[in-house]
Structure 1
Amino acid sequence: MASTHVNNYLDLDEENDELSFLQESLEQINQLSQRGTRILAHFDQRLVRLESLVQPIRQSSQSLGTLQQNVNDTIDALKNMMKYFDCVREEEPVINQGPQENDLLPYLRSINNLQLANDFVAQVNMRSADRLTKQIRKLLEKGLEHLNDLFRKWLQQYSTPIDPTQYDSPLDIPRPPPATLRLLEMLVTYLSTSETETGTRIDYGATLYDIRSTYVIKSMEPLIAATDNVRTQASATMYQKGTSPVILMTSGLIKLAQAEKDFIETIMPGTIAEEVFLKTVKPVVARYLKSIEGLLQVAKRSIQTEKFMLFDVFETLKHYQSELDRALNLTPAEKKTLANLMASISTPIMTSFAEYMEEARQMTKLGMPQDGTISEFSSSVLNHMKRLLDHQETVESMMVTLGDGHWGSASVNTVRKTFSGEAILKHYFQDLLRLLVGSLESKTKGSKRQEVTIVFLMNNFHYIYKTISQSRLREILGEHDLQNYEGLDWKYQEQYCRIWAGCVAYLVDDPTGPGGLKHKLVGADKMTIKDKFKHFNGTLEDVIRAQQSCTIPDPELRQMLLDRVRQLLIPAYVSFMEKYQHTEFAKNSGKYVRYSQDSLDRILQSVFK
């Protein structure tokens, strides 16, 4: 127990010693902390004083940095400026040498450098740079002129005249290759800056339309000359539809203009392209309109011979009117001129209907041809009608405007209230044919040449019927009119065959004569047979003689008539000849029996050659 107390006492003493030690240590730590605090406070005071000393230095350093950057920037700017000031010296050799066609980029690079220098000098606005500005602009102007020369050269290289009629469409017309087109477009881009860059405008548009307008004119010259030749030379043959040089001239001009417009728009900006294109085609448009106007003036002086050419010209202009406007960008004045030309063409055509009717009335006074061939009047009327049908739509529209029956000839003029173009045209044809038929029949009255008269009427009415039946006239006139002319054709063919039938009348036996009896021929019978052969021979010779003075121009009609005459004459003659040639009707029967079957056939065939 006592030992336990002793131990507790010792433990307490140890703890007291340890507590004293800790207190002493804390005291020392406290002293050290106070000393540290005093030191830190002193450092803080020194740092504040140091900061007050360093702040001006730092501010000075920042100002120096800014000044250094400004100096560097100024040096860079001066270097850049010197580059522009040296531009003339560096680029002058390149500009003086001129562009190389196979390597254009170095030259364009020099032009770019000069343009940049020009822009820079203009911005800095230094009085001391005035001399430099003049040098740059002068050199730049020289460079752009070289580009314009190259532009001209390339244009001329690809502006060889062509024949536009040899190409089916504008896309087929030759143009520079794509690479050249791009180079031309690039040149235009540079040349378009000439006025703003140099103060002097290089008119590259004039360069283009000078060259290309010459190209267009020379390409069209043969077609225009062909039209002018029609104006100055009398037509040796009847005009054939579709042969007017105006047709080729118009279609060729449209194709050429469309190709030219596409070419110019490819290398030039829109507004400038339109202006340049108008100037390019203006000369050829003027030549085109003048050529047609001259042709019209000549045609008016001989309208009846030239009207069908005018029909072609009018229909060509009408057909291409809108295309001409689109392809050529016609000005209001040019549109008016074209419209006036069309009106000037339509007026004489419309009056030609009445004028031809009057001409037909005058042709009724023509005499009958000596050989009974087709009358000039017949061929004129039928050809006139057929050729009008080549322009049926135009003719009908004009006749509706003219009015039904207003042909101007009192002998056939009947004003009707008809509004169908086809009906009016039919009436016009019927009036012409009525005038023709009356004239043909009146010419034969009182004629002493019966054979020629019949051949004349047969030829003409067969020609009328055949022409109508084998052409579009049949559709216009109708089957009723056609049957009337067929009847007249057949009527005069029958009359013609009756001329030959007069020969056959002598080959018919009298039933009470020798042909019907079985006894030996007596004197009266012999005389009858002699007379029949004699009259047959004489009549045949007269008919052949009369026929030889006539002409049947239609080979089909001749063959048809030959077949009918042979069928009419040869069987009757052969039958009569075979019956009596071996009888004793005459001591010299060869005097009366002049023809064999073959010889008679040959004679007939020779007559109808």
Structure 2
Amino acid sequence: MDEIAELKYDIDKKLEKESNNLALLKDCLNRSGTNTQSMLGILNSFESRLKHMESTIVPVYNETENLRRRQENIEKTMHTLDTVLSYYHAAKDLEATVKEGPGACDLETYLSYMEKVLNAQKYFQNYNAGSKEQAEINHIFVDGTQALQHEFKSLLNRHGHSVPPVVIVDMLTAEEDLPPVGTDTDLALEHLPEKVVSDLTKISQWLVEQAQSHQHLKSYGQSRAAMLNKSLQGLKEHLRSASSTSSQLSFISQNSPALGGKFRGSKDAPSRRSMMRLVNNFTKKASSALNKSSFEPGHRRQGSAANDSIREEVADVETDLYINELSALLRLMQSEMQLMKGIVPQKHERAVFDTIIQQALDSVVNEGEMIAGTARKNVQRHEYSAVLSIFPIVRHLRSIKPEFDLILEGCQAPTRAKLASLLSTLDSTGAKALEEFTGSIRHDPDKASNMPRDGTVHELTNHTIIFLTQLLDYAETAGAMLLMHGEQATPSASITADGCRMKVADYMTRVLSALGLNLSNKAETYNDPGLRPIFMLNNFNYILKALKTTGLLELLLLWNREVATYYNEQVLEQKRIYSQSWSKVLHYILEMDKPMSAQRTAQMDGSVKLKDKERQNIKDKFTGFNKELEEIHRIQKAYAIPDPELRQQLILENKEFLLPRYRMFHDKYSTLNFTKNRQKYVKYDADAVTRMLDKFFDASA
């Protein structure tokens, strides 16, 4: 019971608590409703006030906005009116200033004036075309454009200078290959001051973009073309004068414009050193012509070749000058291309560049064609060594032609073809000269009057070896000439270095073959049969030694592995033929058993009396031997063997060939009592014969 009462008590407590909570909640709801009604009243009052304010403010706002727009329109109208009025007054305000040109003020200010003139011109063109004002402003615009063009040309003429020769020489004598001009600040040429380049760029841009004018580009091309050509001519004249006398070099270098700051990258001392290297190269070649002989020591030639030698050396100097001129042209063209960037619009660069280089390129190409023409004349005069002057030119031009092709890319086709045409002309001239040289060797006249009396090396042999030796330095160049302009022309793309050397080896083999045949025909003009093999021996020996010492043999072996063997065999064959000249001498000492056998003479002493016939036979043998020995000595001491080694070798072989036989003959008969006047018949013992043989091939003995 107690538990039920206690449970009931708890339930009553909870019910009472919940009743209190419910009463509290109802009270809160009543207060919230009251507050809501108050807030609604306030909001309704605020809304009514806002409506009243809006009805009051909106008309004021609209009126203010209308006034603002009217003010803005008035200001725009005034500005437009001022602008239009300025267009009408532009002719009067700017005419004098525009006509004076940029020289009366700075360039920036003048260009701003021209902008005003341009704007006025556009206005009248759009809104008042054909009016008096338009005509006036057009006239002023033309005057301003002409003034800018004149200023552009004036800047070029006032500040443009040719490149001093000493600066060009510095570029050409650099020990390493030059990078493209502009990438190396030490070698980049400053043709114009930076301020002038900047002004030229601004003027050019305005004329092209605003005035749609390109007349100034023509002026630029003509001005720079004159400077480029003047630079080349100055270099050529300077090197010519320096090669003739280096005494003026110091004065020229000290007074060079390069020292005045017009050009960067060249100080006084290095410039003079560079020039001295180039000048010494020329002066050494020119002066060596006075001392150089085209024959090696001991080789005689008919007539003096001093004039020919001097002509060849002068041709060498001209060749070096032309090679340097080609290199200078390339470097100056690269420099001009670098200079024109910015000044000339990109789409006009190639046309202007074509104009700039045309005169200088024509000059260099024409000079090259003159060199080719001179070479052809030398061929007609059979001066083939002088023709070799074009080979270094061809080699150099072929090596730098890719750079020329790169910088000429985009120029007109005739301009791009000029160097290729020159190279083809030089190639064909060289190939024709080489083939005609072979023909001249083959058909060289075999007249007795043209033959050396002493059987020495023929002038033709010497000239041929010298020509081939000089040609060896340009083997690949000559090979390319022969391949491209031979009977079966080979495309340049198919030509290789090995193929060129093989072709030259074939050519030299043909030349030597023609030379050998011609020498054989020439030898037949000698009446003395003993002189013929001496002549052939001298020539074959000279050829063989020259092939070995000059490096020609190594090249010839590419084509024919038996070249050295052939000439060695020819030397031995000519020695064998020469030995036959001793037949008359040997005739008297070889028949040992006549008139008496060796066995019989060994049993006799000086007191034994010989028969008259035996005595006479012995006398005839000694007399005949003495006569023939003296005769062959008289003849052959006049023979010339310029090679000391060959001369001593042939004398030794003569001794080995004659002395043993004569010693046997002398020992056999000299002790017999065959005459009372022994000295008359036994004139020479073995030692005397030896001394006589030592005097062979020596006209002074």
Following TM superposition, by how much is the alpha carbon of 1:461 offset from its aligned partner in structure 2, in angstroms? 1.9
Distance 1:222 1:152 in 2: 19
- 2:534 alignment partner, one of 455, 476, 494: 455
**1:219 pairs with 2:231:** yes
Q: Supply the AA of the counterpart residue of 2:215.
A: D
Gaps of 5+ in 1: 1-36, 101-105, 228-232, 405-419
Secondary structure, in 3 states, of the residue corresponding to 2:222? helix
Cα deviation, 1:52-111, whole Å, max 9, x if unaligned, reads 7887666555544554555566667777888896998699779959559xxxxx713312
- 1:487 alignment partner, one of 564, 569, 581: 569
Following TM superposition, by how much is the alpha carbon of 1:140 offset from its aligned partner in structure 2, in angstroms? 4.2
Cα deviation, 1:363-396, whole Å, max 9, x if unaligned, reads 2633343221223444455556556653453255
Give 1:109's aligned residue: 108
Larger Rg: 1
- 1:156 alignment partner, one of 143, 155, 160: 160
Give 1:176's aligned residue: 190
**1:326 pairs with 2:330:** no
Give 2:206's aligned residue: 193
Secondary structure, in 3 states, of the residue corresponding to 2:557? helix
**1:465 pairs with 2:544:** yes
Distance 2:64 2:518 in 1: 128
Following TM superposition, by how much is the alpha carbon of 1:132 offset from its aligned partner in structure 2, in angstroms? 8.1
Following TM superposition, by how much is the alpha carbon of 1:260 offset from its aligned partner in structure 2, in angstroms? 1.8
Distance 1:325 1:235 in 2: 37
Secondary structure, in 3 states, of the residue corresponding to 2:562? helix
Following TM superposition, by how much is the alpha carbon of 1:560 offset from its aligned partner in structure 2, in angstroms? 4.2
User: Structure 1 294/509 Cα, relative in aligned 2: closer, same or farther at 3 Å?
Assistant: closer
Distance 2:212 2:563 in 1: 80
Distance 1:53 1:399 in 2: 106
Following TM superposition, by how much is the alpha carbon of 1:296 offset from its aligned partner in structure 2, in angstroms? 3.9
Q: Supply the AA of the counterpart residue of 2:361.
A: V
Cα deviation, 1:298-331, whole Å, max 9, x if unaligned, reads 5445355455455555555555544333333452
Cα deviation, 1:139-177, whole Å, max 9, x if unaligned, reads 744762564255214542465567856523463765217
**1:373 pairs with 2:456:** yes
CA contact (8 A) 2:149 2:215 kept: no
Distance 1:485 1:241 in 2: 33
Greater Cα offset, 75-84 or 115-124? 75-84
User: Structure 1 265/521 Cα, relative in aligned 2: closer, same or farther at 3 Å?
Assistant: farther
Distance 2:559 2:153 in 1: 69
CA contact (8 A) 2:375 2:390 kept: yes
Q: TM-score, normalised by structure 2?
A: 0.58
Distance 1:423 1:71 in 2: 93
Gaps of 5+ in 2: 1-40, 173-177, 241-306, 491-498
Following TM superposition, by how much is the alpha carbon of 1:213 offset from its aligned partner in structure 2, in angstroms? 0.8
Distance 2:430 2:353 in 1: 35
CA contact (8 A) 1:181 1:267 kept: no
CA contact (8 A) 2:537 2:574 kept: yes
User: Structure 1 241/504 Cα, relative in aligned 2: closer, same or farther at 3 Å?
Assistant: farther
**1:546 pairs with 2:632:** no
CA contact (8 A) 1:350 1:399 kept: yes
- 1:362 alignment partner, one of 418, 438, 443: 443
CA contact (8 A) 1:210 1:280 kept: yes
Give 1:144's aligned residue: 148
Following TM superposition, by how much is the alpha carbon of 1:545 offset from its aligned partner in structure 2, in angstroms? 2.8
Distance 1:205 1:361 in 2: 60
Q: Supply the AA of the counterpart residue of 1:327.
A: I
Q: Supply the AA of the counterpart residue of 1:490.
A: L
User: Structure 1 328/560 Cα, relative in aligned 2: closer, same or farther at 3 Å?
Assistant: farther
Following TM superposition, by how much is the alpha carbon of 1:516 offset from its aligned partner in structure 2, in angstroms? 6.9
Q: Within 5 Å, which residues of 2 pair with 1:86-485?
A: 96=100, 99=103, 107-122=106-121, 125=124, 133=137, 137=141, 140-141=144-145, 144-145=148-149, 147-153=151-157, 155-157=159-161, 164=168, 167-168=171-172, 169=178, 171=181, 175-176=189-190, 180-181=193-194, 183-194=196-207, 201=213, 203-221=215-233, 237=311, 244=319, 247-265=323-341, 267-301=343-377, 302=379, 305=383, 308-309=388-389, 318-329=398-409, 330-336=411-417, 346=427, 355-356=436-437, 358-363=439-444, 365-367=446-448, 368-379=451-462, 382=465, 390=475, 391-394=477-480, 397-398=483-484, 401-402=487-488, 433-444=512-523, 447-470=526-549, 471-473=551-553, 474-485=556-567
- Identity across matched positions, percent: 18
Question: How many residues matched?
Answer: 538
Following TM superposition, by how much is the alpha carbon of 1:257 offset from its aligned partner in structure 2, in angstroms? 1.7
Secondary structure, in 3 states, of the residue corresponding to 2:447? coil
User: Structure 1 384/92 Cα, relative in aligned 2: closer, same or farther at 3 Å?
Assistant: same
CA contact (8 A) 1:503 1:536 kept: yes
Secondary structure, in 3 states, of the residue corresponding to 1:552? coil
User: Structure 1 200/479 Cα, relative in aligned 2: closer, same or farther at 3 Å?
Assistant: closer
Distance 1:448 1:401 in 2: 41
What is the RMSD of the two structures over their aligned residues, measured on CA atoms? 5.8
User: Structure 1 608/461 Cα, relative in aligned 2: closer, same or farther at 3 Å?
Assistant: farther
User: Structure 1 254/522 Cα, relative in aligned 2: closer, same or farther at 3 Å?
Assistant: farther
Greater Cα offset, 318-327 or 501-510? 501-510
CA contact (8 A) 2:322 2:393 kept: yes
Distance 1:218 1:361 in 2: 48
Q: Within 5 Å, which residues of 2 pair with 1:20-59?
A: none
User: Structure 1 381/593 Cα, relative in aligned 2: closer, same or farther at 3 Å?
Assistant: closer
Give 1:14's aligned residue: none
CA contact (8 A) 1:296 1:345 kept: yes
CA contact (8 A) 1:241 1:309 kept: yes
Greater Cα offset, 439-448 or 524-533? 524-533
User: Structure 1 465/521 Cα, relative in aligned 2: closer, same or farther at 3 Å?
Assistant: farther
CA contact (8 A) 1:254 1:328 kept: no
User: Structure 1 335/477 Cα, relative in aligned 2: closer, same or farther at 3 Å?
Assistant: same
Secondary structure, in 3 states, of the residue corresponding to 1:192? helix
Distance 1:350 1:97 in 2: 61
Secondary structure, in 3 states, of the residue corresponding to 1:363? coil
Following TM superposition, by how much is the alpha carbon of 1:279 offset from its aligned partner in structure 2, in angstroms? 0.7
Distance 2:136 2:432 in 1: 76
Following TM superposition, by how much is the alpha carbon of 1:428 offset from its aligned partner in structure 2, in angstroms? 5.7
